[in-house]
Structure 1
């Protein structure tokens, strides 16, 4: 018995012969297993073949479902990885936008502080009073030209909004061409400092919004990276169910009973 077992385990040909003999005798065993089958052997064989066919079809259906699930897991892993890569690029762009916003805040702060320093010096000189000038038509014309030129230059430097020049030319919103040039200079510096302070506040608000957007993009990237890692692990676990290249589905699901 030991010699027979060793031969069956080491030699494939005897094992194949024994399997073929077992399959050949299976119909006879089925017929002899029941008195009803002995009386109706043809029906018993038909039922047996039908049972074996249905069983093979169920196995094929289960294999097909497992294959579809494995293919779905593989496709999902690829798609979520692409989404994670795109989210990483988007996070980099949002990070770059936030860094640019930080630079604009710093620049707006420096410009505001410089304008505020000029306003402080102008206030200090106001203690000495305004030089006397004769109020003649020529003097008023000079004052008007001085105001227009001062506002125009400040607007060109970005220290005043564009509409300030139109207001100065028409004498609106506190621009008074009748003031002494020293007083006009103080008004220009005051309005400029206030305007640059508002610009700094807007830049700070934009920087805070950019930070929130960058943080949201990083969270989205991190979430997709984690999901991609999980999907990759799931796909790797069922990768063995996917046939190798060149193997067709007809070969995978070849019917057991043609």
Structure 2
């Protein structure tokens, strides 16, 4: 009899272990669900508090309005900095244009004088030495004013790349004027490209600042009226519609070409 009971008990141990394991897994799963969703602990028959919900919504609106106001202020500062950067680039482009225009006028004037016969001078060593000194002095003065690069000055002093000190100073002056004109033209083109980049950056920053200003105003209105605030995509569309496309054209450079 004892052996039969013992055998029956031993045969039921695996089944009981499986049942207890299942219950343990179920209990752990239920505990995890309750931790993940604590609102299930609240009885279903407890009604929500409208005042608390409204207070939470107002707090969210206030936080949203504050964040957008800070973003709008930062965007406005960025727009001002980029506009100042564009104004600086525009002034640099204007200076580069005036320098190039003066060099072009000088080169054209000297080219017109080239049709005149070359002055007759004695071809003596002293004359050639004087011509070399004139070329070196003119090249160094041009380099001092930023019209010749260090490499170009080195070419002049070493008599490379077509620089011949035996030429008459009138002919050397024409060649030097053309080199200066080409360098100033390249500088003006680089300055004009920098101006255009600065203009695009300023225009984008101004548009972003306008959109954020619209959004900040709408958020402040929503905080007072309790309505849903305007979203950023709608704010951008509103800002673009409110400001005509040609209004920002006054920031563009007046020069053509």
- TM exceeds 0.5? yes
Aligned to 2:187: 199
Cα distance between partner residues in 1 of 2:152 and 2:201: 34
Q: Using a 3 Å threshold, how does the CA distance of structure 1 residues 229 and 208 change in structure 2: closer, same or farther?
A: same
Match of 1:151 in 2: 139
1:129 is the counterpart of 2:117: yes
Answering whether residue 76 of structure 2 is matched by residue 88 of structure 1, we say: yes
Going from structure 1 to structure 2, the CA distance change for 1:137 and 1:58 (only over 3 Å counts) comes to farther
Measure how far apart 1:211 and its partner are.
Answer: 1.0
Give TM-score scaled by structure 1 length: 0.66
Query: Which residue in 1 is equivalent to 2:155?
Result: 167
> What is the distance in 1 between the residues matched to 2:45 and 2:152?
87
Q: Superposition pairs for residues 1-258 of structure 1, below 5 Å?
A: 54=43, 57-60=46-49, 63-238=51-226
List gaps (5 residues or longer) in structure 2: 1-41, 228-257
- Deviation digits for residues 102-136 of structure 1 (CA, Å, limit 9, x no counterpart): 22222111111111111122112211122222333
User: Of the two structures, which has the highest relative contact order with CA contacts closer than 8 Å and spacing of 6 or more?
Assistant: 1
Task: Give the alignment's Cα RMSD to 1 decimal.
Answer: 2.2
Cα distance in 2 for residues equivalent to 1:238 and 1:177: 84
Segment drifting more, 63-72 vs 76-85: 63-72
Structure 1 gap segments, 5+ residues each: 1-52, 240-258
- Deviation for aligned residue 1:146: 1.3
Q: Which has the larger Rg? A: 1
